[in-house]
Amino acid sequence: MESMPFLHVKSIFTITFEDDLAFTEVRSILDQLLAINAFDSDVQQHEGAYNLTCETAFFSVWVVEKEVIIRRG
């Protein structure tokens, strides 16, 4: 797995991934996570794992603080 910092909407996230991801996929995943408030600590206590789609691709995504772990599903 690789990790890299990623600046999106004036915040820096750590993206960890196995497969190559397009920037549009990462941005879409982050936008979806921001829309459901996935980076809030209260939400993370109850959730943390998500199944998201970007166009026709499916992703399993885990969120821990500002780290986003993405696996193409």
Q: Which domain holds residue 46?
A: 2-72
Is the pLDDT confidence value at 44 over 90? no
Q: What angle do CA 45, 22, 10 make, to 5 degrees?
A: 55
Q: What is the pLDDT of residues 9-34, one digit of tens each?
A: 999 999 999 888 999 999 999 999 99
Here the tokens at position 62 are 């885990």
Distant-in-sequence, close-in-space partners of 31: CB < 8 Å, separation ≥ 6 = none
Model-level pTM? 0.91
Number of domains in the chain: 1
